[in-house]
Every structure is written in structure tokens, then in C-alpha cells.
Amino acid sequence: MYRGRMDRRQMERAMKQMGIRAKELENVREVVIKLADREIVISNAKVTLMEMPGQRTYQVIGEEIERKPELEIREDDIKLVMEQAGVDREAALRALKDVDGNLAQAILKLKG
């Protein structure tokens, strides 16, 4: 029984026999995993796509950092704050960001 390490060619041959194809994705800048309360960002990422019959798997290697997700403010919300508070788009957007997107608080902040 062979107990040594497989070289790259042996590994590729074994994977091919099992119907597994692997290729590295090119030009990957970063990988973002979005969780409910935070994002995991992997920069300088090397991503390998493994394709098997009926399944795709991604292997990601790189430098990991965590960040809070950016607040997404809808255009309708911005327009509503602009109308209700009588301000321009920039002021409405800034107020919404300051209060984490809460419409009522943004309007009150701008009127007060």
C-alpha cells in the first residue's frame, strides 16, 4: 500500500477519475460572506472552483476581516424624508444614515 504523498499529477488524475474538476478563478478581488449581523471579507483571495456531478464547491484562501454591513437606504425613503422635512437629497441621506435608516427619526432630526 502506498503511504507517501501524492504529487500534483497523481492528485489531478485521481480527481478526474472521480469526475471532479478543479480550476482557480482569475481576477478575484475579494470574497464577501454576508451574515445577519456582520460580513466576513476575504481580501487577496485565491478561489478554487471544484465541480463534481451535481455539485459545485468553492475553496477560498486569503486574509480575513469582519465588518458591519453597509446600510442600504432605498431611494423612496430618501424622497419621503426630502418631502416631509423640506431638505435636499444630500441632507436627507445624511440624516437617514445618522439614524440607521429610521424614517421618523430622520424627519424629526431635520425638522427639529
Domain residue ranges of the chain, discontinuous segments joined by +:
8-67, 75-111
Q: Which residues, 6 or more positions from 101, have their beta carbon under 8 angstroms from its beta carbon? A: 71, 72, 73, 77
From first CA to last CA, the distance across the chain in angstroms is: 80
pLDDT, tens digit, for every residue of 3-47? 667 788 888 888 888 889 999 999 999 999 999 889 999 999 999
Q: How far apart are CA 36 and CA 108, in angstroms?
A: 28
Query: Does position 49 have pLDDT exceeding 60, yes or no?
Result: yes
Instruction: Please say whether the structural domain 8-67 has been given the CATH code 3.30.70.20.
Output: no
CATH class of 75-111: mainly alpha
Is the pTM higher than 0.85? The answer reads: no
pLDDT of residue 42: 96
pLDDT of residue 11: 84
Which candidate, 66, 60, 67, places its Cα nearest to that of 31?
60
Residue-averaged pLDDT of the chain: 91
CA 72 to chain centre: 14
